[in-house]
Structure 1
Amino acid sequence: MRSATDKRIPAATAAGGNDSMRRYLAEFIGTFVLVLGGVGAAVLAGDRIGFLGVSFAFGLSLLAMVYAIGPISGCHVNPAVTVGLSLAGKFENKHILGYIVAQCLGAVLAAGVVLLIAKGVPGGYQASVAGLGSNGYGLASPEGYGAGAAFLAEVALTFLLVLTVLGATDAKAPVGFAGIAIGLVLTLIHLVGIPVTNTSVNPARSLGPAVFAGGQALTQLWMFIIAPMLGAGLAAAVYRSVFSPAGAITARTAERSLDAERAERVAQDRSHTRSPV
């Protein structure tokens, strides 16, 4: 005969599994939106909105997703952010693989959607020729920057991104403002990095277009995996040593509103529902 504790175990396990799948699905959707918004702006409207417009497209896409899916998954939408949060003790290691797989799948699907739309232009569109917003250095760099400069830029800019995510979601940071800081810093990063590499700071974002562009985009993909991961590791090390976090709090928790705020919203909603018309 099973005890009451034994009966609760399957239910708890199922709840944990459902929570994990919701988080992975949220990361899939968030990365899809980031790549669709950012790469889509570069490919479909880049000649009209320029570097500034593309930079804001990436930043606004991330800002929106922080508030849309942040309470569910923490809105990493970037393997480098996932690894950085893990190294800083703000993310559970058991979810790393699931997050990264979801992010990569979301990026590839979004890049495929952008390609399908781009092919509708008169004369068609060839990803292997036009690049589909892929990242690169040397001849593949928008301004011809070499491998050394590109690698340094990706490390430094990813460091800035991940450090901002860590600081904005710290237990001592103001609640509810993380999305603004993170979205704006990604805009700034693209303003700096687009002429150098088309700005990656995100291995999933680089993978999506590279799958369809092939050629140099695939052969140079290694840089846009290694450099962002190195930048994320440096950010985590600085966060641990300089910021001296008071306690571990996950990004998902930090991007939720306070319990008191949620309770007040529910109470107000119920009072409006019950009030006579």
Structure 2
Amino acid sequence: MKKYLAEMIGTFVLVLMGCGSAIFAGIGLGTTGFGVTTLGVAFAFGLSVIAMAYTIGNISGCHINPAITLGVWANGRMKGSEAFNYMIFQTIGAIIASAVLYVLVHTGNEAGIEAVFNSTTTTGSNSYMPGNIVPAFIAEMVFTFIFVLVVLGTTDEKQGAGNFAGLAIGLTLVLVHIACIPITGTSVNPARSIGPAIFAAIEGNCIPLTQLWLFIVAPFVGALGSSAVWNMIKGK
């Protein structure tokens, strides 16, 4: 249970900080003077992973992402029942974080609410433009493949990066966001997409919820590919 709670807390922090940066300081808030652009949002996600890696890494491994958990399971590093529970608690953490962001958005003063609604997102949800389903699927699959491959490689018992694994993983997530934000807002993490999509629907925007399947299926396909490739290229 300690592992599951650690995964819930870690995912909570990731979604709160990452999606929070997109909501309150992301692209679209230029008139308020707080816009941090794509690079700032990318670093918010990456730095959250680095912080949590060195906080809960020794407890749960700091997956905080069902795609990573699937890749680790497919690589034979954990049991199926444990992987399933990881995913459940990761999703719970993401939903709680999205609930906190929802409250922050909808309980501020009038000026604060207006500023938030001038931004590009009020939940940090992922979506893609109509007709762009193919590039969106490919992007989420390929970038998840890269991200999970780095995770498997840097945390491998024989070939891993040791204490630098958390730093490598976090910076890789920054790179992934820089490239992928213009396409889908960057998920590469089903839990990170589920929480915001639920609250976007509560606000009356059902598009992220109807498109949610892609942000679950594509990352899972990418993660399974990473596991297969890492098994082929890792040293004995």
- TM-score normalized by structure 1? 0.76
Paired AA for residue 122 in structure 1 = E
Contact 1:67/1:179, CA 8 A, preserved across alignment: yes
Paired AA for residue 222 in structure 2 = G
Contact 2:105/2:122, CA 8 A, preserved across alignment: no
Quick check: which has more Rg, 1 or 2?
1
**Which residue does 1:227 correspond to in 2?**
218
Cα displacement (A) at 1:243: 1.4
Cα displacement (A) at 1:221: 0.2
Cα displacement (A) at 1:121: 4.7
Paired AA for residue 137 in structure 2 = F
- SS at structure 2 position matched to 1:24: helix
Instruction: Give me the whole-angstrom Cα distance separating, in 2, the residues matched to 1:98 and 1:84.
Output: 15
**Which residue does 1:158 correspond to in 2?**
144
Farther off after superposition, 158-167 or 44-53: 44-53
Deviation readout 1:143-189 (Å, 9 max, x if unpaired): xx711000000000000110000000012223211001000000000
Contact 1:131/1:217, CA 8 A, preserved across alignment: no
Deviation readout 1:16-75 (Å, 9 max, x if unpaired): xxxxx0000000000000000100000011131010000000000001101100100000
**Which residue does 1:68 correspond to in 2?**
55
Contact 1:207/1:221, CA 8 A, preserved across alignment: yes
Instruction: Give me the whole-angstrom Cα distance separating, in 1, the residues matched to 2:100 and 2:49.
Output: 18
Runs of at least 5 residues in structure 2 that lack an aligned partner in the other structure = 30-34
Does 2:207 align with 1:216?
yes
Q: From the superposition, tell whether residues 146 and 23 of structure 1 become closer, same or farther in structure 2 (CA, over 3 Å).
A: same
**Which residue does 1:112 correspond to in 2?**
99
**Which residue does 1:173 correspond to in 2?**
160
Paired AA for residue 36 in structure 2 = I
Contact 1:79/1:202, CA 8 A, preserved across alignment: yes
Cα displacement (A) at 1:132: 1.3
Does 2:174 align with 1:187?
yes
Q: 1:203 aligns with which of 181, 184, 190?
A: 190
Query: Where do 1:244-259 residues align within 5 Å?
Result: 244=235, 246=236
Paired AA for residue 88 in structure 2 = V
Instruction: Give me the whole-angstrom Cα distance separating, in 1, the residues matched to 2:185 and 2:147.
Output: 16
Cα displacement (A) at 1:122: 2.0
Instruction: Give me the whole-angstrom Cα distance separating, in 2, the residues matched to 1:174 and 1:202.
Output: 22
Instruction: Give me the whole-angstrom Cα distance separating, in 2, the residues matched to 1:182 and 1:121.
Output: 38
**Which residue does 1:146 correspond to in 2?**
132
Q: 2:44 aligns with which of 35, 57, 60?
A: 57
Does 2:218 align with 1:237?
no
Instruction: Give me the whole-angstrom Cα distance separating, in 2, the residues matched to 1:22 and 1:114.
Output: 25
- TM-score normalized by structure 2? 0.89
Deviation readout 1:219-255 (Å, 9 max, x if unpaired): 00000000000000000000001114x3xxxxxxxxx
**Which residue does 1:122 correspond to in 2?**
110
Q: State the identity as a percent.
A: 49
Q: From the superposition, tell whether residues 200 and 174 of structure 1 become closer, same or farther in structure 2 (CA, over 3 Å).
A: closer
Runs of at least 5 residues in structure 1 that lack an aligned partner in the other structure = 1-20, 140-144, 247-277
Give the ranges of 4+ consecutive aligned residues of structure 1 lying more than 6 Å apart after TM superposition: none
Q: How many aligned positions are there? A: 218
Instruction: Give me the whole-angstrom Cα distance separating, in 1, the residues matched to 2:122 and 2:87.
Output: 24
Over aligned residue pairs, what C-alpha RMSD do you find? 1.5
